[in-house]
Amino acid sequence: MKTAAGEITPLWRNRDYNVLWVSQVVSELGAAMSQLAFPLLVIFGSGSVVEIGVVVSARAAARFVAGLPAGALADRYSRKKIMLCCRGTLVVGYTSLVVALLFGAATFPHILATTILAGAASALFGPAEEAALPSIVPRSQLSTTVARNTARTYLAGLIGPAVGGALFGIHRVLPFLVDAVTSALSFVGLLFVRLPHRRVERDTNLGQEMWAGLVWVARQRAIAATLVWVVLSNTVFSAMLVPILAMSGEKDTPPGELGLMMTTLSVGGLIGAAIAPRLHAALPAPVIVIGVSWIAALLTPLLAFCSTALQFGLVLAMVMVFAPTANTTIITYQMMTAPDEFRGRTRGAVRLGTGMAGALGPMLGGVLTAVTGGRNVVLVCVAALLVVAVATTASPTIRGLAGKDR
Protein backbone atom coordinates (compact mmCIF):
# COMPACT_ATOMS: atom_id res chain seq x y z
CA MET A 1 0.00 0.00 0.00
CA LYS A 2 3.06 2.24 0.31
CA THR A 3 6.07 2.77 -1.91
CA ALA A 4 9.66 2.37 -0.74
CA ALA A 5 9.73 6.12 -0.10
CA GLY A 6 6.77 5.80 2.26
CA GLU A 7 4.26 7.32 -0.19
CA ILE A 8 0.80 5.81 -0.57
CA THR A 9 0.52 3.76 -3.74
CA PRO A 10 -2.06 5.18 -6.18
CA LEU A 11 -5.19 3.06 -6.32
CA TRP A 12 -4.68 2.24 -9.99
CA ARG A 13 -1.36 0.61 -9.04
CA ASN A 14 -2.82 -1.36 -6.12
CA ARG A 15 -2.49 -4.85 -7.58
CA ASP A 16 -4.63 -6.68 -5.03
CA TYR A 17 -7.54 -4.25 -5.17
CA ASN A 18 -7.56 -4.09 -8.96
CA VAL A 19 -7.47 -7.89 -9.28
CA LEU A 20 -10.34 -8.12 -6.80
CA TRP A 21 -12.35 -5.39 -8.54
CA VAL A 22 -11.93 -6.79 -12.05
CA SER A 23 -12.78 -10.32 -10.93
CA GLN A 24 -15.96 -9.03 -9.31
CA VAL A 25 -16.97 -6.93 -12.32
CA VAL A 26 -16.78 -10.07 -14.42
CA SER A 27 -18.72 -12.11 -11.89
CA GLU A 28 -21.45 -9.52 -11.31
CA LEU A 29 -22.01 -9.13 -15.06
CA GLY A 30 -22.52 -12.88 -15.33
CA ALA A 31 -24.86 -12.88 -12.33
CA ALA A 32 -26.97 -10.06 -13.81
CA MET A 33 -27.33 -12.06 -17.03
CA SER A 34 -28.45 -15.29 -15.38
CA GLN A 35 -30.74 -13.63 -12.84
CA LEU A 36 -33.14 -12.66 -15.63
CA ALA A 37 -32.71 -16.05 -17.28
CA PHE A 38 -34.06 -18.04 -14.31
CA PRO A 39 -37.69 -16.80 -14.59
CA LEU A 40 -37.41 -16.94 -18.39
CA LEU A 41 -36.43 -20.60 -18.08
CA VAL A 42 -39.65 -21.30 -16.19
CA ILE A 43 -41.78 -19.11 -18.47
CA PHE A 44 -40.64 -20.98 -21.58
CA GLY A 45 -40.67 -24.30 -19.73
CA SER A 46 -43.67 -25.14 -17.57
CA GLY A 47 -45.11 -21.62 -17.79
CA SER A 48 -46.41 -22.01 -14.22
CA VAL A 49 -47.11 -18.65 -12.61
CA VAL A 50 -46.55 -20.19 -9.18
CA GLU A 51 -43.14 -21.56 -10.18
CA ILE A 52 -42.16 -18.19 -11.65
CA GLY A 53 -42.99 -16.48 -8.35
CA VAL A 54 -41.14 -19.13 -6.35
CA VAL A 55 -37.99 -18.81 -8.48
CA VAL A 56 -37.96 -15.01 -8.23
CA SER A 57 -38.61 -15.01 -4.48
CA ALA A 58 -36.23 -17.87 -3.66
CA ARG A 59 -33.11 -15.91 -4.61
CA ALA A 60 -34.08 -12.96 -2.41
CA ALA A 61 -35.07 -15.29 0.43
CA ALA A 62 -31.71 -17.07 0.24
CA ARG A 63 -29.86 -13.76 0.40
CA PHE A 64 -31.89 -12.77 3.44
CA VAL A 65 -31.43 -16.08 5.32
CA ALA A 66 -27.69 -16.20 4.63
CA GLY A 67 -27.18 -12.51 5.39
CA LEU A 68 -26.91 -12.75 9.18
CA PRO A 69 -24.46 -15.68 9.50
CA ALA A 70 -22.45 -14.21 6.61
CA GLY A 71 -21.03 -11.45 8.79
CA ALA A 72 -20.15 -13.80 11.65
CA LEU A 73 -18.44 -16.19 9.24
CA ALA A 74 -16.42 -13.31 7.77
CA ASP A 75 -15.19 -12.41 11.26
CA ARG A 76 -14.47 -16.02 12.27
CA TYR A 77 -12.78 -17.55 9.23
CA SER A 78 -10.43 -16.59 6.41
CA ARG A 79 -12.20 -14.01 4.27
CA LYS A 80 -10.32 -15.03 1.17
CA LYS A 81 -11.32 -18.67 1.63
CA ILE A 82 -14.96 -17.66 2.06
CA MET A 83 -14.86 -15.70 -1.20
CA LEU A 84 -13.17 -18.60 -3.00
CA CYS A 85 -15.72 -21.10 -1.66
CA CYS A 86 -18.60 -18.88 -2.82
CA ARG A 87 -17.22 -18.56 -6.35
CA GLY A 88 -16.21 -22.22 -6.56
CA THR A 89 -19.65 -23.36 -5.44
CA LEU A 90 -21.24 -21.20 -8.15
CA VAL A 91 -19.02 -22.77 -10.80
CA VAL A 92 -20.21 -26.23 -9.75
CA GLY A 93 -23.86 -25.19 -9.49
CA TYR A 94 -24.08 -23.41 -12.83
CA THR A 95 -22.09 -26.11 -14.61
CA SER A 96 -24.51 -28.76 -13.36
CA LEU A 97 -27.47 -26.72 -14.64
CA VAL A 98 -25.79 -26.17 -18.02
CA VAL A 99 -25.21 -29.91 -18.42
CA ALA A 100 -28.79 -30.69 -17.39
CA LEU A 101 -30.18 -28.17 -19.88
CA LEU A 102 -28.03 -29.48 -22.71
CA PHE A 103 -29.28 -33.02 -22.12
CA GLY A 104 -32.89 -32.01 -21.52
CA ALA A 105 -32.75 -33.23 -17.92
CA ALA A 106 -33.26 -29.93 -16.06
CA THR A 107 -36.08 -30.07 -13.51
CA PHE A 108 -37.76 -27.33 -11.51
CA PRO A 109 -36.11 -28.45 -8.22
CA HIS A 110 -32.71 -28.26 -9.97
CA ILE A 111 -33.45 -24.75 -11.28
CA LEU A 112 -34.72 -23.70 -7.85
CA ALA A 113 -31.67 -25.13 -6.05
CA THR A 114 -29.32 -23.26 -8.39
CA THR A 115 -30.97 -19.87 -7.90
CA ILE A 116 -31.02 -20.42 -4.12
CA LEU A 117 -27.33 -21.28 -4.28
CA ALA A 118 -26.65 -18.07 -6.22
CA GLY A 119 -28.51 -15.94 -3.67
CA ALA A 120 -26.79 -17.54 -0.68
CA ALA A 121 -23.33 -17.28 -2.28
CA SER A 122 -23.88 -13.58 -2.98
CA ALA A 123 -24.93 -12.95 0.62
CA LEU A 124 -21.94 -14.82 2.03
CA PHE A 125 -19.47 -13.18 -0.35
CA GLY A 126 -20.43 -9.55 0.33
CA PRO A 127 -19.44 -9.12 4.01
CA ALA A 128 -16.22 -11.09 3.48
CA GLU A 129 -15.15 -8.81 0.63
CA GLU A 130 -16.16 -5.58 2.36
CA ALA A 131 -14.51 -6.57 5.65
CA ALA A 132 -11.29 -7.34 3.75
CA LEU A 133 -11.11 -3.98 1.94
CA PRO A 134 -9.38 -2.04 4.77
CA SER A 135 -6.63 -4.68 4.64
CA ILE A 136 -6.09 -4.05 0.91
CA VAL A 137 -6.36 -0.26 0.60
CA PRO A 138 -5.22 2.53 2.95
CA ARG A 139 -7.70 4.54 4.98
CA SER A 140 -7.44 7.58 2.70
CA GLN A 141 -8.53 5.55 -0.36
CA LEU A 142 -11.33 3.54 1.23
CA SER A 143 -14.15 5.86 0.17
CA THR A 144 -12.97 5.73 -3.44
CA THR A 145 -12.92 1.93 -3.39
CA VAL A 146 -16.43 1.83 -1.93
CA ALA A 147 -17.67 4.15 -4.70
CA ARG A 148 -15.98 2.01 -7.37
CA ASN A 149 -17.59 -1.12 -5.94
CA THR A 150 -20.95 0.64 -6.12
CA ALA A 151 -20.26 1.56 -9.75
CA ARG A 152 -19.67 -2.05 -10.75
CA THR A 153 -23.11 -3.00 -9.39
CA TYR A 154 -24.81 -0.32 -11.49
CA LEU A 155 -22.70 -1.34 -14.49
CA ALA A 156 -23.86 -4.93 -14.14
CA GLY A 157 -27.47 -3.78 -13.80
CA LEU A 158 -27.12 -1.64 -16.92
CA ILE A 159 -25.57 -4.25 -19.20
CA GLY A 160 -26.36 -7.65 -17.71
CA PRO A 161 -30.15 -8.04 -18.13
CA ALA A 162 -30.14 -6.89 -21.76
CA VAL A 163 -27.27 -9.19 -22.71
CA GLY A 164 -28.76 -12.04 -20.67
CA GLY A 165 -32.09 -11.71 -22.43
CA ALA A 166 -30.40 -11.64 -25.84
CA LEU A 167 -28.30 -14.73 -25.01
CA PHE A 168 -31.38 -16.58 -23.79
CA GLY A 169 -33.06 -15.76 -27.09
CA ILE A 170 -30.19 -17.44 -28.95
CA HIS A 171 -30.10 -20.50 -26.68
CA ARG A 172 -31.49 -20.87 -23.20
CA VAL A 173 -28.28 -22.42 -21.89
CA LEU A 174 -26.05 -19.46 -22.79
CA PRO A 175 -26.72 -17.10 -19.82
CA PHE A 176 -25.96 -19.90 -17.36
CA LEU A 177 -22.89 -20.97 -19.30
CA VAL A 178 -21.61 -17.38 -19.23
CA ASP A 179 -22.26 -17.17 -15.49
CA ALA A 180 -20.35 -20.42 -14.93
CA VAL A 181 -17.41 -19.06 -16.93
CA THR A 182 -17.42 -15.64 -15.22
CA SER A 183 -17.60 -17.32 -11.80
CA ALA A 184 -14.60 -19.47 -12.76
CA LEU A 185 -12.67 -16.40 -13.93
CA SER A 186 -13.51 -14.64 -10.67
CA PHE A 187 -12.31 -17.68 -8.71
CA VAL A 188 -9.00 -17.64 -10.55
CA GLY A 189 -8.60 -13.89 -9.97
CA LEU A 190 -9.25 -14.27 -6.25
CA LEU A 191 -6.41 -16.77 -5.99
CA PHE A 192 -3.99 -13.91 -6.74
CA VAL A 193 -5.41 -11.48 -4.17
CA ARG A 194 -3.09 -11.21 -1.18
CA LEU A 195 -4.74 -10.74 2.20
CA PRO A 196 -2.98 -10.64 5.57
CA HIS A 197 -3.24 -13.83 7.58
CA ARG A 198 -5.85 -13.61 10.34
CA ARG A 199 -5.62 -15.94 13.31
CA VAL A 200 -9.00 -15.97 15.04
CA GLU A 201 -9.54 -18.06 18.15
CA ARG A 202 -13.00 -18.07 19.65
CA ASP A 203 -14.56 -19.85 22.61
CA THR A 204 -18.09 -19.13 21.40
CA ASN A 205 -20.20 -20.79 18.72
CA LEU A 206 -21.45 -19.14 15.56
CA GLY A 207 -24.87 -18.34 17.02
CA GLN A 208 -23.32 -16.55 19.99
CA GLU A 209 -21.09 -14.56 17.67
CA MET A 210 -24.03 -13.55 15.50
CA TRP A 211 -25.85 -12.28 18.59
CA ALA A 212 -22.72 -10.51 19.85
CA GLY A 213 -22.43 -8.76 16.50
CA LEU A 214 -26.03 -7.54 16.60
CA VAL A 215 -25.59 -6.30 20.17
CA TRP A 216 -22.38 -4.50 19.23
CA VAL A 217 -24.03 -2.79 16.23
CA ALA A 218 -27.04 -1.77 18.33
CA ARG A 219 -24.75 -0.19 20.94
CA GLN A 220 -22.89 1.91 18.38
CA ARG A 221 -25.30 4.83 18.12
CA ALA A 222 -23.88 6.26 14.91
CA ILE A 223 -23.73 2.91 13.11
CA ALA A 224 -27.24 2.02 14.30
CA ALA A 225 -28.58 5.41 13.18
CA THR A 226 -27.07 5.11 9.71
CA LEU A 227 -28.40 1.55 9.45
CA VAL A 228 -31.92 2.76 10.25
CA TRP A 229 -31.54 5.52 7.65
CA VAL A 230 -30.47 3.03 4.99
CA VAL A 231 -33.33 0.63 5.76
CA LEU A 232 -36.03 3.32 5.80
CA SER A 233 -34.77 5.03 2.63
CA ASN A 234 -34.43 1.76 0.70
CA THR A 235 -37.85 0.53 1.85
CA VAL A 236 -39.62 3.67 0.67
CA PHE A 237 -37.71 3.90 -2.59
CA SER A 238 -38.27 0.24 -3.50
CA ALA A 239 -41.95 0.54 -2.59
CA MET A 240 -42.25 3.55 -4.90
CA LEU A 241 -41.08 1.59 -7.95
CA VAL A 242 -44.08 -0.77 -7.83
CA PRO A 243 -46.85 1.84 -8.34
CA ILE A 244 -44.73 3.58 -10.98
CA LEU A 245 -44.47 0.33 -12.96
CA ALA A 246 -48.19 -0.28 -12.39
CA MET A 247 -49.16 3.18 -13.65
CA SER A 248 -46.95 2.74 -16.69
CA GLY A 249 -48.60 -0.61 -17.40
CA GLU A 250 -52.07 0.94 -17.20
CA LYS A 251 -51.09 3.22 -20.09
CA ASP A 252 -49.96 0.27 -22.22
CA THR A 253 -46.37 1.44 -22.06
CA PRO A 254 -44.21 -0.69 -24.41
CA PRO A 255 -41.80 -3.07 -22.61
CA GLY A 256 -38.92 -1.31 -24.29
CA GLU A 257 -39.86 1.99 -22.66
CA LEU A 258 -40.11 0.29 -19.26
CA GLY A 259 -36.67 -1.15 -19.84
CA LEU A 260 -35.40 2.30 -20.77
CA MET A 261 -36.78 3.64 -17.48
CA MET A 262 -34.79 1.04 -15.50
CA THR A 263 -31.74 1.73 -17.65
CA THR A 264 -32.05 5.42 -16.81
CA LEU A 265 -31.89 4.53 -13.11
CA SER A 266 -28.67 2.59 -13.67
CA VAL A 267 -27.18 5.48 -15.64
CA GLY A 268 -28.02 7.84 -12.79
CA GLY A 269 -26.36 5.45 -10.36
CA LEU A 270 -23.24 5.19 -12.53
CA ILE A 271 -22.92 8.97 -12.73
CA GLY A 272 -23.42 9.17 -8.99
CA ALA A 273 -20.75 6.56 -8.32
CA ALA A 274 -18.32 8.53 -10.50
CA ILE A 275 -18.76 11.75 -8.54
CA ALA A 276 -19.19 10.16 -5.09
CA PRO A 277 -15.48 10.20 -4.10
CA ARG A 278 -15.19 13.94 -4.81
CA LEU A 279 -18.39 14.83 -2.97
CA HIS A 280 -17.43 12.58 -0.07
CA ALA A 281 -14.05 14.31 0.21
CA ALA A 282 -15.51 17.82 -0.12
CA LEU A 283 -18.47 17.61 2.27
CA PRO A 284 -18.85 16.59 5.93
CA ALA A 285 -20.66 13.30 6.55
CA PRO A 286 -23.75 14.92 8.22
CA VAL A 287 -24.18 17.31 5.29
CA ILE A 288 -24.14 14.41 2.85
CA VAL A 289 -26.63 12.19 4.67
CA ILE A 290 -29.01 15.03 5.54
CA GLY A 291 -28.58 16.63 2.11
CA VAL A 292 -29.35 13.44 0.19
CA SER A 293 -32.43 12.94 2.39
CA TRP A 294 -33.75 16.36 1.41
CA ILE A 295 -32.83 15.95 -2.25
CA ALA A 296 -34.97 12.79 -2.35
CA ALA A 297 -37.79 14.48 -0.45
CA LEU A 298 -37.81 17.54 -2.74
CA LEU A 299 -37.30 15.82 -6.10
CA THR A 300 -39.76 12.93 -5.77
CA PRO A 301 -42.86 15.22 -5.68
CA LEU A 302 -42.10 15.82 -9.38
CA LEU A 303 -43.33 12.26 -9.94
CA ALA A 304 -46.89 13.54 -9.49
CA PHE A 305 -46.50 15.47 -12.75
CA CYS A 306 -45.01 12.59 -14.77
CA SER A 307 -47.09 10.82 -17.39
CA THR A 308 -44.60 8.54 -19.18
CA ALA A 309 -42.17 5.85 -18.03
CA LEU A 310 -39.22 7.89 -19.30
CA GLN A 311 -40.29 10.92 -17.26
CA PHE A 312 -40.58 8.75 -14.16
CA GLY A 313 -37.14 7.34 -14.89
CA LEU A 314 -35.53 10.77 -15.30
CA VAL A 315 -36.86 12.00 -11.94
CA LEU A 316 -35.74 8.85 -10.14
CA ALA A 317 -32.37 9.00 -11.90
CA MET A 318 -31.80 12.51 -10.50
CA VAL A 319 -32.25 11.05 -7.02
CA MET A 320 -29.97 8.12 -7.87
CA VAL A 321 -27.18 10.50 -8.87
CA PHE A 322 -26.75 11.46 -5.21
CA ALA A 323 -27.52 8.09 -3.57
CA PRO A 324 -24.01 6.61 -4.13
CA THR A 325 -22.44 9.54 -2.26
CA ALA A 326 -24.58 8.79 0.79
CA ASN A 327 -23.85 5.07 0.50
CA THR A 328 -20.12 5.73 0.14
CA THR A 329 -20.11 7.99 3.20
CA ILE A 330 -22.11 5.58 5.36
CA ILE A 331 -20.27 2.42 4.33
CA THR A 332 -16.87 4.08 4.75
CA TYR A 333 -17.84 5.37 8.20
CA GLN A 334 -19.08 1.96 9.30
CA MET A 335 -16.03 0.10 8.01
CA MET A 336 -13.56 2.51 9.60
CA THR A 337 -15.45 2.66 12.90
CA ALA A 338 -15.86 -1.09 13.34
CA PRO A 339 -12.78 -2.95 14.62
CA ASP A 340 -11.58 -5.81 12.43
CA GLU A 341 -13.17 -8.47 14.64
CA PHE A 342 -16.62 -6.91 14.18
CA ARG A 343 -16.27 -5.57 10.64
CA GLY A 344 -17.85 -8.56 8.92
CA ARG A 345 -20.80 -8.65 11.31
CA THR A 346 -21.34 -4.92 10.91
CA ARG A 347 -21.58 -5.24 7.14
CA GLY A 348 -23.66 -8.41 7.54
CA ALA A 349 -26.17 -6.53 9.69
CA VAL A 350 -26.38 -3.73 7.12
CA ARG A 351 -26.89 -6.19 4.29
CA LEU A 352 -29.55 -7.97 6.33
CA GLY A 353 -31.33 -4.65 6.78
CA THR A 354 -31.15 -3.74 3.10
CA GLY A 355 -32.37 -7.25 2.25
CA MET A 356 -35.39 -6.72 4.49
CA ALA A 357 -36.02 -3.37 2.82
CA GLY A 358 -35.72 -4.92 -0.64
CA ALA A 359 -38.25 -7.60 0.25
CA LEU A 360 -40.65 -5.49 2.32
CA GLY A 361 -40.73 -2.39 0.11
CA PRO A 362 -42.10 -3.98 -3.09
CA MET A 363 -44.59 -6.01 -1.04
CA LEU A 364 -45.95 -2.89 0.67
CA GLY A 365 -45.96 -1.01 -2.62
CA GLY A 366 -47.90 -3.78 -4.33
CA VAL A 367 -50.51 -4.15 -1.57
CA LEU A 368 -51.08 -0.41 -1.25
CA THR A 369 -51.28 0.02 -5.03
CA ALA A 370 -53.96 -2.66 -5.24
CA VAL A 371 -55.95 -0.99 -2.46
CA THR A 372 -55.57 2.73 -3.11
CA GLY A 373 -54.15 3.13 -6.63
CA GLY A 374 -50.66 3.86 -7.89
CA ARG A 375 -50.67 7.66 -7.75
CA ASN A 376 -51.85 7.67 -4.13
CA VAL A 377 -49.04 5.29 -3.16
CA VAL A 378 -46.48 7.54 -4.83
CA LEU A 379 -47.77 10.46 -2.76
CA VAL A 380 -47.55 8.34 0.40
CA CYS A 381 -43.95 7.46 -0.44
CA VAL A 382 -43.14 11.13 -1.07
CA ALA A 383 -44.59 11.98 2.34
CA ALA A 384 -42.57 9.16 3.92
CA LEU A 385 -39.34 10.51 2.38
CA LEU A 386 -40.19 13.93 3.81
CA VAL A 387 -40.60 12.38 7.26
CA VAL A 388 -37.23 10.62 6.87
CA ALA A 389 -35.59 13.92 5.88
CA VAL A 390 -37.06 15.77 8.87
CA ALA A 391 -36.10 12.96 11.28
CA THR A 392 -32.59 12.78 9.83
CA THR A 393 -32.12 16.52 10.20
CA ALA A 394 -33.39 16.42 13.79
CA SER A 395 -31.19 13.46 14.79
CA PRO A 396 -28.24 14.61 16.97
CA THR A 397 -26.46 11.34 16.16
CA ILE A 398 -26.58 11.97 12.40
CA ARG A 399 -25.60 15.60 12.86
CA GLY A 400 -22.62 14.47 14.91
CA LEU A 401 -21.23 11.99 12.41
CA ALA A 402 -17.47 12.32 12.09
CA GLY A 403 -15.45 11.47 9.01
CA LYS A 404 -13.41 8.54 10.30
CA ASP A 405 -11.46 8.29 7.07
CA ARG A 406 -10.41 11.93 6.85
Domain match, 27 and 134 both: yes
pLDDT tens, residue by residue, 189-228: 999 998 877 666 666 788 888 888 889 999 999 999 999 9
What's the average model confidence in pLDDT over 38-64?
78
The answer, yes or no, to whether residue 19 has pLDDT greater than 60, is: yes
Does residue 198 fall inside a structural domain? no
Instruction: Kindly indicate the confidence band of residue 245, based on its pLDDT and cuts at 50, 70 and 90.
Output: confident
Confidence at 62, pLDDT banded by 50, 70, 90: confident
CATH number of the domain encompassing residue 348? 1.20.1250.20
Mean pLDDT of the residues in the chain: 86
Whether residue 234 lies inside any domain: the answer is yes
Tell me the residue type at 138: P
Query: Would residue 166 count as lying in a domain?
Result: yes
Residues 258 and 376 in one domain: yes
The residues facing 8 across adjacent strands are 2
Are both 106 and 186 inside the same structural domain? yes
- Does the residue 404 lie in any domain? no
383 with 285, same domain: the answer is yes
- The single-letter DSSP state of residue 192 is T
**In a shared domain, residues 268 and 395:** yes
Is 60 exceeded by the pLDDT of residue 100?
yes
Is residue 213 included in any domain, yes or no? no
Which carries the bigger pLDDT value, residue 177 or residue 59? 177
- Any domain includes 359: yes
Domain of 38, in residue numbers: 11-190
Asked if residue 79 belongs to a domain, the reply is yes
In a domain, residue 207? The reply is no
307: alpha, beta or left? (left if phi > 0; alpha if psi -120 to 50): alpha
Residues 232 and 132 in one domain: no
Residue 405's pLDDT band (cuts 50, 70, 90):
very low
Q: Does residue 344 contact residue 75 with C-beta atoms inside 8 Å?
A: yes
Q: Provide the domain count of the chain.
A: 2
Pair 108, 42: CB distance under 8 Å: yes
